[in-house]
Amino acid sequence: MRVSATVCSKGGVGKTTTTANLGGLLADAGLRVLLIDLDTQPTLSSYYELSQPAPGGGDRAGRS
């Protein structure tokens, strides 16, 4: 297992976009990928559609 992190304290530098694109590239290459967004404004989930809702979770609009 390999772990990679995209970190920068400055906002607006493309961390989420870079992470989403890198994760998609690795997944397309056949690797198993887990992306975790620890930002206080998590937008990584908006890059990927869920095939089914998570039990007990809300959707992207914030409704549960």
Averages of pLDDT over each 10 residues, the chain, 64 residues? 87 88 94 88 79 65 48
Tell me, what's the pLDDT at 64?
A: 42
Long-range contacts for 17-20 (Cβ within 8 Å, ≥24 apart)? 19/44, 20/44, 20/47, 20/48
Give the SS3 label for residue 16: helix
Distance CA(48)–CA(60), nearest Å, equals 11
Distance CA(41)–CA(45), nearest Å, equals 11
For residue 23, the tally of other CB atoms under 10 A from its CB is 19
Look up the pTM and report it: 0.67
